[in-house]
Amino acid sequence: MKRRGLVKQLLLFCLVGFVVTYVYNSVLFQVNELSVEVTTKLTTKRIFNFVPSTRKLPQKKFKINCRKIIEKDKGEIDRATALMRVSPPFSLKTEDYINATEDCVHFRKSFRYDSYPVTNEEREFPIAFSIITYKDVDQTERLLRAIYRPQNLYCIHADASSPDSLHKALEGIADCFGNVFIVSKKEDIIYNHMSRLKADLNCMSDILAMPQKWKYFINLPHQQFPLKTNLELVKILKTYNGANDIEGIITHGRMMPSRFEFRHKYINGSWKKIGKRNNKLPLNASIVKGSAYGVFSREFVQYIITDKRAKDVLKFMEDVKSPDEYYWATLNHNEVLKAPGRYSGNPEKKPWLAVYASWGGRDKCHGKFVRGVCIFGVGDLNELVSKKELFANKFYPDFQYLALDCLEEYLYNKTLSHLPFETFYYKQLPFIRKQ
């Protein structure tokens, strides 16, 4: 009898534990609570109630207030920083995604892909994205989820040389959506090589072949994250009215001229100069430097894929070092090349809002600098949420992980809040096409 009573008590304890855990996890997603629950073993909020083995009350619980962090509360930032030193980040493994996407209905529901409201304005203005990745399925999926809307299109490019498990996980994710797909031709991307540019071109070509009449194309690496909701992106891009947002640099020193004044070849794992360049750009266009990332109108993408002038410029870029930092900019900032949505003024006087990055020697960074670029931390959030740029680069999943947690929650809550968005700043930009 005692044993039977003990069994009943144990069953009752388990049942209570399950109910408490269910309620606990549900509360985490209340839109009005800007807080992140962090444990010494995992970040419960990040897994969206997915992995069954983690559905239990943590042994030790910390409550971090994201609102205070974003408002630059020093005490809360210090608490978050101290916590991250002793509590490692939690992320799902590649195998978790392979298993999760075997049931697409459950995957979409548990990861809350369909929980974002979509307005008619968004439905009538679909956006196409490419996501370039080579590792970290968890961070790649997290970016996809942040920008996902059913009317948009998403092309995922993973390096051809990445592990088979990564490709399988990403294919599983893509198969759960009608508007997410894996690029038809994968490149083995080499840093500073033409393969990086081809990865985006392959996605552009695939997306153009889709029947959806998307309006703009945005290319992203998996370490970027949005600073604007999808509705805000739509309002900004409608203001652009067909203009591209592509960086332009023509100051000689900043252009890194040796990259294009000499021909380069990748030999045995390193770059070699193979002689002084003796050919010119088509139509005597001038080479312009910029970023590998930008915001491209549909007409500009069509021009890139089909126009002879764009193809001739691409041929010129084949032995340029880091051609992705010259190709878009050269097309967009040369009047003679007649690219749709181009900018005719001084490239360096054109604001560039596609991506915000903090550079060493110029900008502040509360995280850490890696190869001259800031890896954002919790202390950077106050500035990031006030930026006019559309995306921020970059975040590491194993460094100051609460920065990404809080930014993700901020965007989720802002999406559900339907707060008004003022486009006056964007309407005054010198590169937009007037209505």
* Catalytic residue positions, numbered: 325
**What is the Cα Rg of the chain in Å?**
24
- Dmax of the chain from CA atoms? 95
Residue 420 class from Cβ within 10 Å (0-12 exposed, 13-18 middle, 19+ buried)? exposed
| Amino acid residing at 435 | Q
Q: Yes or no: say if 127 and 216 are a contact pair by the CB < 8 Å rule.
A: yes
CA–CA separation, 176 and 361 (whole Å): 44
Q: Are strands 373-375 and 368-370 parallel, antiparallel or unpaired?
A: antiparallel
Q: What are the angstrom distances between the C-alpha of 416 and each of 115, 231, 409? A: 9, 11, 11
- 220: phi then psi, degrees, rounded to nearest 5: -135, 140
Residue 245 is classified by DSSP as B
173: three-class secondary structure by DSSP: helix
Residues whose CB is less than 8 angstroms from the CB of residue 380 and which lie 6 or more positions away in sequence, other chains included: 358, 364, 365, 366, 367, 374, 403
Encoded amino acid at 201, one letter: L
Closest Cα to residue 189, out of 202, 180, 179, 178?
202
Tokens, residue 321: 């070092």
140 neighbors 174 (Cβ within 8 angstroms): no
Q: What's the CA dihedral at 282, 325, 340, 244 to 10 degrees? A: -160
Question: How big is the chain, counted in residues?
Answer: 435
Token digits for 188? 């083995």
Rounded Cα distance between 243 and 238, Å, is: 10
Find the helix or strand (DSSP H, E) in which 373 lies: strand 373-375
Question: Using CA atoms, how far apart are residues 88 and 41, in angstroms rounded to an integer?
Answer: 7
**What does the block give as tokens for 147?**
């920008």
Q: For residues 187 and 160, is the Cβ–Cβ distance under 8 A?
A: yes
Strand partners, 413: none
